[in-house]
């Protein structure tokens, strides 16, 4: 046996050890707001089950279009209820796996620790030039932000200063980079999981100013790893997963 053959066999053996017998790889499309929490839950799930989870992060609306077009996702963790529900209604989601895994909270956030006050009055001030808001057509948190502005009767006044992001993840990036002084983002994006005070300054938007952000999960019907995908969705309701959900500022 040549040295090259020995090396090839060793590589195959190492690959087998890294991917336990009977383990599957689950492709999960996850809404950008839940990215950090999903990473921790996925790591716990892998440790407990041996399955491998591959996360793709983005906007719920875009994921819907990709799934419609045949993207090979096994699970969708959406930022809303409507999208997974629509997939089930269309026969593209498994009805028995549909459930709410988190309820999100909207916050107005700035990297400047002195800019945002506890009542959100900064929105009515001239202390800033740009407000980052996710596209309401693609991102449920963007819709919640628009509802908030409407509830506060500020839509028309602030429209010229709004910078539209394609996802809640990009909305956060605009504020972090300084392209916008303020942004409506998810609490889960800025809340440290250890319970410490978030960086910058923020206003937790009162829940009565926007529709509840119930985030649903569903297994995609054409998955080739139905057992592992269902296990992952079920795992979201476990005590371990719910501890993570709570740590990032979500309810369920």
The CATH number of whichever domain residue 113 belongs to comes to: 3.40.190.10
Sort strands 52-58 and 25-31 into parallel, antiparallel or unpaired.
parallel
Amino acid 252: pLDDT: 82
What pLDDT, in 10s, does the model give residues 37-85? 999 999 999 999 999 999 999 989 999 999 999 999 999 999 999 999 9
Indicate whether 167 and 49 sit together in one domain: no
Residue 190 in domain:
yes
What 3-state DSSP class applies to 160?
Answer: helix
User: pLDDT (tens digit, 9 = 90+) per residue, 206-221?
Assistant: 999 999 999 999 999 9
My answer on whether 178 and 228 are in the same domain is: no
Q: Return d(Cα 80, Cα 60) in angstroms, integer.
A: 8
The mean per-residue pLDDT over the stretch 108-135 comes to 97
Res 16 pLDDT > 60: no
What is the spatial distance between Cα 234 and Cα 228, in angstroms, rounded to a whole number?
10
Asked if residue 12 belongs to a domain, the reply is: no
Domain that holds residue 177: 105-209
- Shared domain for 46 and 142, answered yes or no, is no
Strand partners, 133: 164
Distance, in Å, from the CA atom of 35 to the CA atom of 51, rounded to the nearest integer, reads: 19
Residue 112 resides in a domain: yes
Alpha helices in the chain (DSSP H): 3-18, 35-49, 60-68, 82-89, 140-151, 155-158, 168-177, 187-190, 226-235, 239-247
Contact at 8 Å (CB) between 54 and 26?
A: yes
| Within-domain flag for 92 | yes
**Is the per-residue pLDDT at 225 higher than 70?**
yes
Quote the tokens at residue 9: 């066999």
Q: Please state the domain count of the chain.
A: 2
| Residue 69 within a domain | yes
182 within a domain of the structure (yes/no):
yes
Mean pLDDT value across residues 150-159: 98
Query: 71-81 as b/e, with b when 16 or more CB fall inside 10 Å?
Result: eebbbbbbbbb
Residue 151 gets which letter from DSSP?
A: H
- pTM of the predicted protein model: 0.83
pLDDT band for 12, please (50, 70, 90 cuts).
Answer: very low
pLDDT band at 20 (very low <50, low <70, confident <90, very high): low
């Amino acid at each position: 046996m040549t040295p090259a053959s020995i090396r090839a066999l060793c590589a195959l053996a190492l690959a087998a050890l890294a991917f336990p017998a009977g383990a599957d790889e689950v492709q999960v499309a996850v809404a950008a707001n839940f990215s950090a929490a999903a990473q921790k839950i996925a790591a716990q799930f892998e440790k407990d089950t041996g399955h491998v989870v591959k996360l793709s992060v983005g906007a719920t609306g875009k994921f819907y279009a990709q799934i419609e077009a045949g993207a090979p996702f096994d699970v969708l963790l959406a930022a809303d209820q409507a999208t997974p529900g629509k997939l089930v209604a269309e026969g593209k989601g498994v009805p028995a796996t549909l459930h709410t895994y988190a309820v999100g909270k909207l916050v107005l956030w700035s990297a400047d620790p002195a800019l945002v006050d506890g009542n959100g009055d900064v929105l009515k001030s001239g202390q800033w030039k740009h407000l980052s808001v996710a596209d309401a057509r693609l991102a449920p948190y963007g819709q919640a932000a628009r509802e908030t502005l409407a509830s506060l009767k500020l839509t028309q006044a602030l429209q010229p200063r709004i910078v539209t992001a394609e996802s809640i993840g990009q909305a956060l990036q605009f504020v972090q980079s300084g392209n916008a002084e303020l942004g409506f983002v998810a609490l889960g994006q800025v809340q440290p999981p250890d319970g410490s005070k978030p960086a910058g300054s923020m206003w937790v938007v009162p829940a009565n100013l926007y529709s509840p952000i119930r985030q649903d999960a569903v297994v995609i019907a054409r998955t080739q790893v139905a057992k592992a995908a269902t296990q992952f969705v079920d795992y979201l309701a476990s005590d371990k997963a719910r501890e993570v959900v709570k740590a990032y500022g979500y309810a369920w």
